[in-house]
Chain A
């Protein structure tokens, strides 16, 4: 497994035979992959396949029971890693700080780490708000926002952190198609402009097709396929076909209205 790790702005990620167990439930088994610097890597799979657990393991929120995850050449669970590498996770539900305004949510990271003075922080925050069309929401609190807006705020908050590694947990779930397309564009733009290494967990086939450089498909906690989106979608494997076929078969609907 050769990983390109040379870029200073972004980092590579390597998962080596990762296994995660909660009590008697084995959630992930022998998961290995590598993500190159500046790459967009998509993790797909049906619900309950262990995608989000894998994402939390990659960012160090969970400790694998077997194997390890390396960010660059450092263990993801070592606190020093997060001092050395800026990582950010866009949570599925946003995980915004509910007691703060949107503006303060975005300004929280640079203020806490004292990495910039207040005028510079304001400039950065306003730039992120503008990029995600959130200028009007700056003074609102997260409870006043729609699900889609909360997700955009979460991405904007991650942007202000200027991460080298950015992880997204279902960034387009619960969004209308237009907003989902916007989020896909934002993820792609971030890679182009900032060369951020991105790992995206998603159900969204269009997102995976449009933005991924490489992807893996998880099922029952194991990798069933890996490669580019085209390579995977052309595979004959039943698991893959089952996952990628259209959700609603118009010709043969499973549920019929009873007359």
Chain B
């Protein structure tokens, strides 16, 4: 038990140290611009399609469920506000972060773990090149740039999915004007901002966890798989755990 606690604290300490070291290299970010652009492209290009599909159907299902319940009491006009708020305050940032963990986080962990196992990280250190500088910091900068775009994209696609269902499903049959009107009446800019803040925090830590798990890999190739699994699981637990506290703080 004591060993598990020690190992957990050791893990937390490693993440904090990695964050500190990587942020210490921020002044050299302009020199790493090529890598930042590459990682932005990888994170965006790989994640946008799946974010679009997931967000569209989450918006659609949300509209369907709320529409079914609300039409029984004649309150269909509230669908827009419910879908709008749920998606932008909660579902878009959380789902985007989940997808980032599954799609980009896992690939990042696999890449860094493989570099660690095959001694490429050691080779970098012997060349006096810090892995935190060229492998971690540019990824953190990239996720900081790309995450708001992903979250906003997810929000709009989700809203759009909800609108289509509200209009074309016969038992709801809500006009888009009323759908958007309901959304605009009940939402403020701070709702969207809160979603973006959440997404930013989740995305940043998903990539940090992915990098840390990759760089902490030791042993043989089998460990690469274990690290990838651990990275995704830890990221998801982190997202769910911090979501509650961030939501509470932002209310």
**A-to-B contact residues, CB < 8 Å:** 56, 59-61, 82-83, 86-89, 91, 93, 95-98, 108-109, 112-113, 161
Contact = CB atoms under 8 A, between A and B. Distances in A.
Contacts of B243: none
| 8 tightest Cβ-Cβ pairs between the two chains A and B | A95-B119, A95-B123, A82-B128, A89-B126, A109-B127, A112-B129, A91-B119, A61-B122
Contacts of A91: 119, 122-123
Name which of B115, B120, B122, B128 has the most chain A CB atoms within 10 A of its CB: B128
22 contacts: A56-B122, A61-B122, A61-B125, A61-B126, A82-B128, A83-B128, A87-B126, A88-B126, A89-B123, A89-B126, A91-B122, A91-B123, A93-B118, A93-B119, A95-B120, A98-B114, A98-B118, A98-B120, A109-B127, A112-B127, A112-B129, A113-B128
A97 B122 CA distance: 11
B126 A59 contact: yes
B134 interface: yes
Nearest to B123: A95
Contacts of B120: 95-98
Given A82-B128, A88-B127, A91-B123, A112 B118 contact: no
Interface string B35-57: 00000000000000000000000
Contact of A97 (B123, B126, B128): B123
B151 to A, nearest CB: 29
B107 to A, nearest CB: 12
Name which of B114, B120, B127 has the most chain A CB atoms within 10 A of its CB: B127
A155 B21 CA distance: 30
Contacts of A109: 127, 129
Nearest to A97: B120
Nearest to A91: B119
A182 B209 CA distance: 45
B127 A161 contact: yes
A93 B122 CA distance: 12
A14 to B, nearest CB: 19
Contacts of B126: 59, 61, 82, 87-89
Contacts of B118: 93, 95, 98
A91 B120 CA distance: 10
Contacts of B125: 60-61
A128 B122 CA distance: 22
Contacts of B128: 82-83, 86-87, 113
Contacts of A82: 126, 128
Contacts of B129: 109, 112-113
Interface string B202-221: 00000000000000000000
Interface string B137-160: 000000000000000000000000
B134 A112 contact: yes
Nearest to B133: A112
Interface in B100-119: 114-115, 118-119
